[in-house]
Structure 1
Amino acid sequence: MGTTTPYIGLVGIPSGQVTLSDRRTERSWTVDLAPFRLGALPATREQYAQVTGERPSTARGGERLPVETVSWRDAVVFCNSLSQQEELTPFYGFDDQGEVVVSEPSAGGYRLPTEAEWEYACRAGTGGPRYGPLDDIARYRGNSGERPHEPGGRLPNPWGLHDMLGNVWEWCCDLYDPDVYGTYRVLRGGGWFDEHWSCRASVRRRSHPTFRVDDVGFRVARSVTD
């Protein structure tokens, strides 16, 4: 395990409401959200190595690139390990079969955002599919050189969050559609290899919680408990 606790810059997100939609099922639903905190940037290779002692990423580049080739379960383990390093109550637990459960819903430890939190934070009060011109805010197939880039190199959204679109897809806490896809989890945001239509605030993707690929990472969140 890593021995140095990394600095995680969190942005305070106000309470509010967001309406999500799914093109496959043609349904929409509205979610009320309490205040929470969200990483200003996706987790980096350096942070991941400091917490876990591992370097799973496959793309060429330095330690400040977003960590990728990490599964949903890897991201959950990172959150719990970082919580323990900071002496916070871990958000996640594991049952007798090793499956992840939320054991402390009100815990102050690190976690993945829900997809409603993610989309609400991504939009940051804006109403369109993106919070700015795509080339100004995101690394996607049209400008990435087909590789990831250091987070923070493009303009943030109005709430100070960088790379919410493009660079790497981000795991969210939620199951995608358990009746149809079982344990598949939600991915949001689009990545460096995606065309422009995948880099929109409303786009939903899904995959198995053990899936790893070179354009999928995550950013951390924390509940406001005080």
Structure 2
Amino acid sequence: MDTGTGSDMISVPPGRVTLSDRRTQRSWPVEVAPCLLGAVPVTRARYTGISSGSADAGEADGPPVEGVSWEDAVRFCNALSQQEGFTPAYHLPADDGDVVWNRAADGYRLPTEAEWEHACRAGTAGPRYGPLDDIAWYRGTSDGRIRDVRGKRPNPWGLYDMLGNVWEWCWDLYDAEVYGSYRVLRGGGWFDEQWSCRASVRRRSHPTFRVDDVGFRVARSLGAGPLTV
């Protein structure tokens, strides 16, 4: 765990993951570099504290923030980076241009979907890292509402709520040729059936949309690289 910041981060080792898309019946392998990933999704209290510029960053526990857009999540990452003294990962356009990820920055960012799936699986081979009722808030366990983080068992690497509770924004475009700027969501939410709460399931949404079962968790890079749109 990274104890050098005010955020609860877990070290994710390097590895290789095979992503797949059920719609296109396509799969592709990705090499994943080591990174840091939030042990839990960003909570309402932390989101409100950082977004308002409060000296009190808010509690790391409680329910996840939901109803935030991809653009909201990107702005939060930069604000958290600035508050904790890191270089912001994103260059935000003044107009309707593309957000640019500075891969050389040490600040907070959204995980790529390969990082997310690699971290979710945590070395396991099945669709889930444990029995679903033990690890996830979904339609069968949530009683129709969002739940506090850490209420279910973590995966083998110490990451909570990777499946269920809220869908999580990732950095990646879903399929630019078909869906334009739509971004990837992962993990399943509190109102989803069990089939949505699997490590490989992909969902998409427009980066400006705010949906009531969508949140995010933060990542940080441990290496460097070029600017990437």
Tell me the TM-score normalized by structure 1: 0.91
Q: Is the 8 A contact 1:41 1:163 kept in 2?
A: yes
- 5 Å matches for 1:196-215? 196-215=194-213
Corresponding residue number in structure 2 for 1:60? none
One-letter amino acid of the structure 2 residue matched with residue 163 of structure 1: D
Alpha-carbon displacement from aligned partner over 1:100-154 (angstroms, at most 9, x marks no partner): 4224211100000000000000000000000000000000001101101001010
**Distance across 2 between alignment mates of 1:103 and 1:179:** 21
Q: Secondary structure at the match of 1:28?
A: strand
**Distance across 2 between alignment mates of 1:103 and 1:15:** 20
Corresponding residue number in structure 1 for 2:125? 127
One-letter amino acid of the structure 2 residue matched with residue 221 of structure 1: A
Q: Does 1:99 align with 2:97?
A: yes
Q: Is the 8 A contact 1:92 1:100 kept in 2?
A: no
Q: CA deviation at 1:225?
A: 3.6
Q: Secondary structure at the match of 1:125?
A: coil
**Distance across 2 between alignment mates of 1:175 and 1:131:** 26
Corresponding residue number in structure 1 for 2:177? 179
Corresponding residue number in structure 2 for 1:58? none
Corresponding residue number in structure 2 for 1:42? 41
Question: 5+ unaligned residues in a row in structure 2: which ranges?
Answer: 54-60, 225-229
Corresponding residue number in structure 1 for 2:220? 222
* Identity value in percent: 67
Q: CA deviation at 1:203?
A: 0.2
Corresponding residue number in structure 2 for 1:13? 12
RMSD in angstroms over aligned alpha carbons? 1.5
Q: Is the 8 A contact 2:174 2:184 kept in 1?
A: yes
Runs of 4 or more above 3 Å deviation: none
One-letter amino acid of the structure 1 residue matched with residue 79 of structure 2: S
**Distance across 1 between alignment mates of 2:97 and 2:219:** 21
Alpha-carbon displacement from aligned partner over 1:62-97 (angstroms, at most 9, x marks no partner): x72100010000000000000011121110112342
Q: Is the 8 A contact 2:168 2:186 kept in 1?
A: yes
Corresponding residue number in structure 1 for 2:227? none
One-letter amino acid of the structure 2 residue matched with residue 214 of structure 1: D
One-letter amino acid of the structure 2 residue matched with residue 28 of structure 1: S
**Distance across 1 between alignment mates of 2:146 and 2:152:** 13
Q: Pick from 143, 146, 159: which aligns with 1:145?
A: 143
Q: Pick from 159, 162, 165: which aligns with 1:164?
A: 162
Q: Count residues in correspondence.
A: 213
Q: Is the 8 A contact 2:63 2:147 kept in 1?
A: yes
Alpha-carbon displacement from aligned partner over 1:167-196 (angstroms, at most 9, x marks no partner): 000000000000000000000000000000
**Distance across 2 between alignment mates of 1:48 and 1:100:** 23
**1:88 to 1:181, Cα distance in 2 relative to 1, 3 A:** same
Larger displacement relative to structure 2 (97-106 or 41-50): 97-106
Q: Is the 8 A contact 2:6 2:84 kept in 1?
A: no
**Distance across 1 between alignment mates of 2:50 and 2:121:** 30
Tell me the TM-score normalized by structure 2: 0.90
Corresponding residue number in structure 2 for 1:80? 78
Corresponding residue number in structure 2 for 1:192? 190
One-letter amino acid of the structure 2 residue matched with residue 189 of structure 1: G
Q: Secondary structure at the match of 1:21?
A: strand
